[in-house]
Amino acid sequence: MSHPDYRLTLRPLETPRGVSSLVGPHGVGASPGDKKSKNKSLRGKKKSIFETYMSKEDVSEGLKRGTLIQGILRINPKKFHEAFIPSPDGDRDIFIDGVVARNRALNGDLVVVKLFPEEQWKVIKPDSNDKETEGAYESYLPEELCGSLLPQQSLKGYNDSPDVIIEAQFDDSDSEDGHGNTQNILVDGVKKLSVCLHEKGIFKVSISETVVVFIPKGQKSYTVDEETEAQRSYLACPVSHRKLEKRMLVHQLQKMRTPPWHRIQELYQRSHCKDQQRQLAKSLGQAGEIEPETEGILTEYGVDFSDFSSEVLECLPQGLPWTIPPEEFNKRRDLRKDCIFTIDPSTARDLDDALSCKPLTDGNFEVGVHIADVSYFVPEGSDLDKVAAERATSVYLVQKVIPMLPRLLCEELCSLNPMTDKLTFSVIWTLTPKGKILDEWFGRTIIRSCTKLSYEHAQSMIESPTKKIPEKELPPISPEHTSEEVHRAVLNLHGIAKELRKQRFVDGALRLDQLKLAFTLDHETGLPQGCHIYEYRDSNKLVEEFMLLANMAVAHKIHRAFPERALLRRHPPPQTKMLNDLVEFCDQMGLSMDFSSAGALNKSLTETFGDDKYSLARKEVLTNMCSRPMQMALYFCSGMLQDQAQFRHYALNVPLYTHFTSPIRRFADVLVHRLLAATLGYREVPNVEPDALQKQADHCNDRRMASKRVQELSTSLFFSVLVKESGPLESEAMVLGVLNQAFDVLVLRYGVQKRVYCNALPLRSHHFQRVGKKPELTLLWEPEAMEQEPVRQVITIFSLVEVVLQAEDAALKYSAILKRPGTEGLLGLQDEEECDHDQQED
């Protein structure tokens, strides 16, 4: 890897950065892939172990010649030294081996790589005994595949163990000055050098503009030499249990019971950050507590959860209560007398969208989707606009929301709260009962929602088409409208939505529904009292269909008007190699699955399995497997892709798609609103070039990916707390992978994936073999009594087993233990009916 012809350096390509929103020197770490080169480099205190950055010109030329390959970096969260980018043909992954080879790049960064000669390529086989590969089945699913209206807790990480890998080496870059200047780069944002001894749980260090030092729970905070460190403030907090990210400091810090700050600073300076003064921000609290852990997650993924500045708040309307200016009534269509209502989760406060459905005399319907006109309150170029663009998305945690916009906008001025005049952007169609579009209108409007329905309210109306819903079971409805009128509108929308949905899947759409957890929380402590699998019902589907219809309509509208400057959303087809592996697996398992298109796959998943418990469990496992080859859905500028075939959305199987319906929580939607307003002549054409719009799209992609990961970690955190406080928890599980000394299961009651290790079970022996090509693990259980014979159990893919989830000694970690065959129950397990009853009471 040292030959100069095969060294690779990287330039920024004028794109926003990855999950931490910064380009520049990152951490250095000892990892299997670069241990030798790093040991040599570390002997000299001043010697750089990273490659210098390439110029923009060299990168541009390399991409044109095809000697460099561009892609989004995926770092294996379980094996931090492993990283990948997809190859251009989607047939395999390109492997970047080691932290030094990554040259300071972060997960989600847009990078370029140069391939080694083919004779240096190698195949990486995952280690079946390595605990760190436990997340190998995680994959990212775009929300259009799994339902945009579900609790947003479903992001999975990245495929960790591809089995055909092309090795490369690359360098990250600075997108501002093109010279890789360390001092200038670091002031743009936060970079972290994180260290954690995860086996012993000693500490984690994050060094950046704001430094957070984690020390073990119960250990006394170590102090700083005030004479030499007077310019720095110092605080400490306990360690998070999460996996370590950077490993350079481990062997030095292992030897120090109370590591001196100046030593940490000195080690960090070796990564080229000598002149940056750092401050330790604050103590986050005790490791294992929900709020400190949550803050750690948010900080780790660069989520800005600080209060909005006074400059930002000054951009908001100051004279409260705010009312719509009279001139707006002359510019907008007045729909305040129409029966318009919202359907949202019962706890929602940021109400982006409302619906209306008016029967026409000819038997058709006038159906409206009305979206909060956020762009009215967010002047382009203002401090409010800048902070919203930087945050790019609201982040939905189990217990709270980190808003993209100040709460005055999110929850009051923009939110379509009932019985209040609101500014909206509407799409109104004339539809037949079968959902055929006869006419379409776009425009700015003013609405007055007559009621705030929850999904439960709408579902009860759908399930009781002829029965009047008692008023005590419904929210308040404005006196201008009746509950019967709202009920009829919901039923009409439901009827049309069913037709739209049926036609979408006939036309080749794909949906991969994966199990998602929802929690009940104690109102006083905030701790989880129980959890359940979120049920996606007809009321969710109703809203989803009309949001999809509006997003597709707006995509076509803005692309026709601005073919070079439309902000759209594409979903590339699955990675070819991984898909081929899945095809081979299904053939081996005797499953008749058609992977030729999104629609064919959806049909196979729908029709292959029956309705019995075992068949439904197999469908869950196979759905999980089908999600692994899926790529991320991405925002992009239409002028940056020459081939319009690349615009397509694979899962929806449509040529054009965008996001228009959630501007309170997604900045991409705000940009789309501005484009639509320009299309309709409400404003001038946005003065943005395609490459600048692409930068905004990339940043939205980065922040969206970080947000999804944070949501997943929040769900995992709360479930870990639940296991610790209420466990052990028992559930049926289905095997989805078999290894030499372990196997992976999908825990059906909770929708989590865990690895079960043979060495954690009371086994006399275990034996792995392949029967044909099918992996099989035979377990021989130790008898519970001397007179009994050992029990033999065969574990194969799709085996249905029973597992127990139990807390480990480490903070907020839990393991899965296989129940002995024939065991009726386990001591200490909470009765299932009692647990469910507790949830109902909450």
| Binding-site residue set for Mg(2+) | 344, 353
| Contact call for residues 97 and 123 (beta carbons, < 8 A) | no
- The widest CA-to-CA distance across the chain, in whole angstroms, is 90
DSSP strand pairing (279-280 vs 421-431): unpaired
Residue 779: strand pairing partners? 766, 793
Helices (H), 4-76: 35-42, 56-65
CB contact set of 809 (below 8 Å; sequence gap of 6+): none
Residue 646 region, left (φ>0) first, then alpha (ψ -120 to 50), else beta?
A: alpha
| Contact call for residues 123 and 679 (beta carbons, < 8 A) | no
Q: What are phi and psi of 279, to 5 degrees?
A: -130, 140
Four-CA torsion 709, 690, 312, 413, nearest 10 degrees: -80
Four-CA torsion 468, 470, 476, 478, nearest 10 degrees: 40
Is it true that the peptide bond before 321 is cis, omega within 30 degrees of 0? Answer: yes
Residue 420 region, left (φ>0) first, then alpha (ψ -120 to 50), else beta?
A: beta
| Contact call for residues 750 and 531 (beta carbons, < 8 A) | yes
For 592, the 3-state DSSP assignment is coil
| Contact call for residues 770 and 778 (beta carbons, < 8 A) | no
Euclidean distance between CA atoms 9 and 57, whole angstroms: 12
Q: Within a 13 Å sphere around the CA of 790, how many CA atoms are in the beta-carbon half?
A: 12
Q: Tell me the residue length of the chain.
A: 842
Residue 768: strand pairing partners? 777
To 10 degrees, what angle do helices 598-607 and 483-506 make? Answer: 110
Euclidean distance between CA atoms 818 and 757, whole angstroms: 9
| Contact call for residues 172 and 96 (beta carbons, < 8 A) | no
User: What is the per-residue burial (b if ≥16 Cβ within 10 Å, else e) of 531-542?
Assistant: bbebebebbbbb
Euclidean distance between CA atoms 390 and 388, whole angstroms: 5
Cα 312 to chain centroid, rounded:
27
| Contact call for residues 524 and 495 (beta carbons, < 8 A) | no
DSSP line for 710-763? HHHHHHHHHHHHHHHHH--EEEEEEEEEE-SSEEEEEETTTTEEEEEEGGGS-E
Which is nearest to 591 in space by CA: 732, 798, 735, 753? 798
CB contact set of 99 (below 8 Å; sequence gap of 6+): 27, 28, 29, 30, 31, 33, 34, 80, 81, 246, 247, 248
Euclidean distance between CA atoms 816 and 755, whole angstroms: 7
CB contact set of 157 (below 8 Å; sequence gap of 6+): 77, 135, 138, 139, 140, 709, 712
Question: If you ran DSSP here, which 8-state letter would residue 649 be given?
Answer: B
| R_g of the chain computed on alpha carbons | 28
- Which residues participate in the annotated binding site? 344, 353
| Contact call for residues 410 and 402 (beta carbons, < 8 A) | no
| Contact call for residues 727 and 799 (beta carbons, < 8 A) | no
Euclidean distance between CA atoms 51 and 272, whole angstroms: 12
